[in-house]
Chains A and B, each alone.
Chain A
């Protein structure tokens, strides 16, 4: 079946502009994660959605970052007033319900460049 998809694949924006990144998880997966991957820094957890539960937003670096998940499926990560330090690859992952070891399936990512 289809894997996790993300759009756009690349986004170049100017400092101060808002951007929206989209994630379509694998159908039926109830858990959805957003990560940020910067060069040499590994994967940084941003936010976690599980079903209808309140999301875990503990990884969001500032109040300029927000995310929502509509209908338990598609998720959008919004970055307001982008800064150059926001430049990174933003990865989305999903996991099935009942997964024992929290194994995650990743999308290809959105490469964000803030000029």
Chain B
């Protein structure tokens, strides 16, 4: 059972375009993390959202946690080739040390 569904699975866009990727679940998470993974590297943490409805901005990236804490979105404004990578969401439940990872969205930004 895939507890965190990410969509789209693949996304290829031109530099300067905007995009949104989604992370959805039927389960509630106490917090949700977004990671970016570049080829040949491990995932790197971008942000953690913890409050329902929370919005966090990281330069051109905007992260939102759903009101019910079951879903999240990542919006990138004016995408750049450097944004290319695999975007993973991961949910945590309370003090449980295990994270549940989605399968990721592979983003390619073409110059």
Q: Do A and B bind each other?
A: yes
Q: Does A115 contact B (CB under 8 A)?
A: no
Which residue on B lies nearest to A6, using beta carbons? B42
Using C-beta atoms within 8 Å of the partner chain, give the interface range for chain B: 20 to 34
Q: Which residues of B contact A106 (CB under 8 A)?
A: 35, 42-44
Stretch at the interface among A12-20, A42-50, A63-71, A73-81: A42-50
Contact for A40 among B31, B98, B103, CB less than 8 A:
B103
User: Which A residues lie within 8 Å of B35 (CB)?
Assistant: 106
Q: How close is B102's CB to chain A, nearest CB, in angstroms?
A: 6
Most buried by B among A91, A103, A108: A103
A93:B42 contact, CB within 8 angstroms: yes
Q: Are B42 and A107 in contact (CB under 8 A)?
A: yes
Q: Which residues of B contact A48 (CB under 8 A)?
A: 97-98
Are B45 and A43 in touch, CB under 8 angstroms? no
Interface contact A104-B103, CB-CB below 8 Å: no
Find out whether the CB atom of B92 lies under 8 angstroms from the CB atom of A101.
yes
Closest residue of A by beta carbon distance from B106: A40
Q: Quick check: B103 and A108 within 8 Å, CB to CB?
A: no
Q: Does A62 contact B (CB under 8 A)?
A: no
Instruction: Kindly supply a per-residue 1/0 record for chain A positions 28-46, scoring 1 wherever the CB is within 8 Å of any chain B CB and 0 otherwise.
Output: 0001000000001111010
- Chain B residue numbers with a CB within 8 Å of A103 are 33, 45, 48
Query: Interface residues, chain A, CB within 8 Å of chain B?
Result: 4, 31, 40-43, 45, 48, 50, 56, 91, 93, 95, 101-109
Give me 12 other A-B pairs in contact (C-beta within 8 A), A42-B104, A95-B97, A106-B35 excluded. A40-B103, A42-B101, A42-B102, A43-B43, A48-B98, A50-B97, A91-B42, A91-B43, A101-B92, A102-B31, A105-B45, A108-B42
Q: B residues near A, CB below 8 A? A: 2, 31, 33, 35, 40-45, 48, 50, 88, 90, 92, 96-99, 101-104
